[in-house]
Structure 1
Amino acid sequence: MQVFGSSGTRGVANEELTPAFALRVAKAVGTVRDDPRIAVGRDTRRTGRLLENAVAAGLAAVGVDVDRLGVVPTPGLQAYAADEGIPAVMVTASHNPPAYNGLKLVGADGVELPVEALERIEDVLLGEEFEPVAWDETGEDRDVEGVRRRYVEGLLDAVDRERIADAELTVALDPGHGAGAVTSPDFYRELGCRVVTVNAQPDGHFPGRDPEPVAANLGELGRLVRASDADVGIAHDGDADRAIFYDETGTHIDGSASFAALAAAELSDGDVAVSAVNVSQRLVDVCEAAGADLELTPIGSTRIMTRIGQLREEGEHVPIAGEGNGGVIFPDHRITRDGAYIGARFLELLADGTAASDVVAPYDGYANVRVNVAYDDETEREALLAAAETYADDATATGDAKLTTIDGYRLDYGDAWVLARPSGTEPVVRVYAEAHTESRAHGLADDVAEALRAAL
Structure 2
Amino acid sequence: MARIKFGTGGWRAIIGDEFIRANVRLLCGALAQRIIDEGVQEAGIVIGYDRRFLSDVAAEWAAEVFAGAGITCQLIRVAQAPTPLIMWTVKDRELPYGMAITASHNPALYNGIKVFTAGGKDADEDVTLDVERRMEALEGAGEAELPSIDYKKALASGAVREIDSFNGYIDSIISQVDMDAIRNAHLKVALDPMFGVSRTSLQTILLTARTELDVINDRHDTLFGGALPSPTSAGLSMLKRYVVENKCDIGIATDGDADRIGVIDDKGNFLHPNQLLVILYYYLLRYKGWEGPVVRNVATTSLLDDVAERFGQKCYEVPVGFKWISGKMLETDAIIGGESSGGLTVRGHIAGKDGIYAAALLVEMIAVVGKSMSEIYDEITGQFDPHYMAETDFSFPMERKPEILTTLMVDKLLPEFTAEVTHTSYADGCKVYFTNGWIIARFSGTEPLLRIFCEMPNQIEAERACDEFRAFLGL
The match for 1:116 is: 126
Q: How many Å separate the matches in 1 of 2:351 and 2:449?
A: 32
Distance across 1 between alignment mates of 2:339 and 2:226: 26
Q: Which residue of 2 aligns with 1:143?
A: 162
Q: Tell me, in whole angstroms, the C-alpha distance in 1 between the residues paired with 2:450 and 2:227.
A: 29
Within 5 Å, which residues of 2 pair with 1:186-335? 186-207=204-225, 209-267=227-285, 271-309=292-330, 311=331, 316-335=332-351
Are 2:93 and 1:94 aligned?
Answer: no
For each residue in 1:103-124, what CA deviation from the matched residue of structure 2 results, as whole angstroms up to 9, or x when unmatched?
1111131111111111111111
Alignment map for 1:165-204 (pairs within 5 Å): 165-204=183-222
2:189/2:251 contact within 8 Å kept:
yes
CA contact 1:281–1:435 (8 Å) conserved in 2 = no
| Cα contact 1:371–1:449 (8 A) shared by 2 | no
Contact 1:330 1:336 (8 Å CA) reproduced: no
Q: CA deviation at 1:452?
A: 4.3
Q: How far apart in 1 are the matches of 2:377 and 2:265?
A: 9
Q: Residue by residue, what CA displacement relative to the aligned partner does 1:285-329 show, whole Å, maximum 9, x if unpaired? A: 3233333222222212223223333x2xxxx32001111222111
Once residues 85 and 370 of structure 1 are traced to their aligned partners in structure 2, the CA distance between those partners, rounded to angstroms, is 40
Residue in 2 that maps onto 1:73:
82
Over the matched positions of the two proteins, sequence identity in percent amounts to 26
Give structure 2 stretches of 5+ with no counterpart: none
Is 1:15 aligned to residue 17 of structure 2?
yes
The 3-state SS of whatever aligns with 1:126 is: helix
| C-alpha distance in 1 between matches for 2:126 and 2:261 | 28
- Structure-1 separation of matches of 2:466 and 2:265: 30
**Corresponding residue for 2:366?**
350
What one-letter code is carried by the residue in structure 2 that aligns with 1:173? L
**Aligned 8 A contact 1:213 1:237 in 2:** yes
- Which residue of 1 is the match for residue 376 of structure 2? 359
Q: Check if 1:84 corresponds to 2:103.
A: no
8 Å CA contact retained: 2:404, 2:473: no
Question: Do 2:10 and 2:114's aligned partners in 1 also have CA atoms closer than 8 Å?
Answer: yes
For residues 370 and 267 of structure 2, the distance between their equivalents in structure 1, rounded to whole angstroms, comes to 15
Instruction: Tell me: CA distance 1:388–1:188, structure 2 relative to 1, closer, same or farther (3 Å).
Output: farther
Residue 64 of structure 1 and its aligned partner are, at CA, apart by 1.2
Q: 1:229 to 1:400 in 2, by over 3 A?
A: same
**Is 2:420 the partner of 1:416?**
no
- TM-aligned CA deviation for residue 203 of structure 1: 3.4
Q: Compute the displacement of 1:373 (Å).
A: 8.8
- Contact 2:333–2:347 (Cα < 8 Å) also in 1: no
Deviations 1:66-120 (A, max 9, x none): 2110241111111111111112111111111222111111113111111111111
**2: CA distance between counterparts of 1:141 and 1:126?**
27
CA distance in 2, matches of 1:134, 1:353: 56
- More divergent stretch after superposition (199-208 vs 342-351): 199-208
Residue 12 to residue 359, structure 1, CA distance change in 2 (3 Å)? same
Q: What's the CA shift string for 1:33-56, capped at 9, x where partnerless? A: 232221111011121111111111
Cα distance between partner residues in 2 of 1:318 and 1:143: 35
Q: CA deviation at 1:377?
A: 3.7
One-letter code aligned to 2:355: G
| Post-superposition offset of 1:209 | 4.7
Q: Is the 8 A contact 2:329 2:335 kept in 1?
A: no
CA offsets, 1:210-230, max 9 Å, x none?
311112221121122123211
Report whether the alignment pairs 1:4 with 2:23: no
Aligned to 1:104: 114
Task: Determine the structure 2 residue equivalent to 1:59.
Answer: 66
SS in 2 for 1:159: coil
Q: How does 1:383-398 map to 2 (within 5 A)?
A: 383-385=406-408, 389-391=412-414
Matching residue's letter, 2:308: C
Deviates more, 1:358-367 or 1:429-438: 358-367
Structure 1 unaligned segments of length 5 or more: list them: none
Inter-CA distance 410–378: structure 2 relative to 1 (3 Å threshold): closer
Amino acid at match of 1:368: A
TM-score, normalised with respect to structure 2: 0.85
Aligned to 1:32: 34
Give the AA of the match of 1:328.
L
- Partner SS state of residue 106, structure 1: strand
CA contact (8 A) 1:69 1:144 kept: yes
The reply on whether 1:441 has 2:441 as its aligned counterpart is no
Structural RMSD (CA)? 3.0
Q: In structure 2, give the amino acid aligned to 1:347.
A: V
Aligned with residue 392 of structure 2, among 370, 375, 380: 370
Specify the code of the residue in structure 1 equivalent to 2:63.
A
In structure 1, distance between residues paired with 2:226 and 2:46: 30
CA distance in 2, matches of 1:306, 1:46: 32
1:42 corresponds to which letter in structure 2?
Answer: Y
1:186 is displaced (CA, Å) by: 1.3
Q: Judging changes above 3 Å, is the alpha-carbon distance between structure 1 residues 424 and 45 closer, same or farther for their aligned structure 2 residues?
A: closer
Shift of residue 386, structure 1, vs aligned partner: 5.5
Q: For 2:313, give the aligned amino acid.
A: A
Q: Which amino acid aligns with 2:352?
A: T
Find the residue that maps to 1:158 and give its secondary structure. coil
